[in-house]
Amino acid sequence: MKSSTLVDDVTCLIKKETETTLALINLLQQEKHALCIRDTEALNQCVIKKAKKIGELEQLARQRIELLACHGFDNNSEGWRNLIDTLAEDGQDHIIEAWQVLEKVARRSYNLNQVNGKIVNRTKQTVQKLLNIIRGQPDSLDLYDQMGRSNHRSNTSSAPIVQA
């Protein structure tokens, strides 16, 4: 049987990663809300807090690397899976369940971050189009020919809305 210290270390690490990732999910939800209502102050606060949580997750990842190395497992997802499976074979099934919860939470965090990235991208495109209209710059279109090559065209009849 593996030492209870290893079981405790792995259990504690998974618990900390899950808690930190859940806190990150909460911040990502706040960030999404701030993006949707265009609240720059709230968005700035979310970004600062999110960076802190990401730093905490990076520290936990370093601890996981050390744990794997100390016990002779490879430093990759397969090594981590082998460690968990080894502990589960020794009657520590709760570790597999905790790891599955962490994987689910991490996927949720990733998906929320992707959504927020899309919102940022869309907002950026909209702002750029509005700025181009104000500046009188032509609205460009990217079209594709039959071969799938980009065929850049622009509407050259644009004029600035206002001139100084």
4-135 CATH: 1.20.58.300
Give the lowest-confidence range in 19-33, 43-57, 141-155. Answer: 141-155
Show me where the domains of the chain are located.
4-135
More reliable by pLDDT, 131 or 51: 51
What pLDDT was estimated at residue 145?
66
Q: Cβ(15)–Cβ(23) under 8 Å?
A: no
> Model pTM?
0.77
What pLDDT was estimated at residue 139?
64
Q: Which residues contact 161 (CB under 8 A, 6 or more apart)?
A: 133, 134, 136
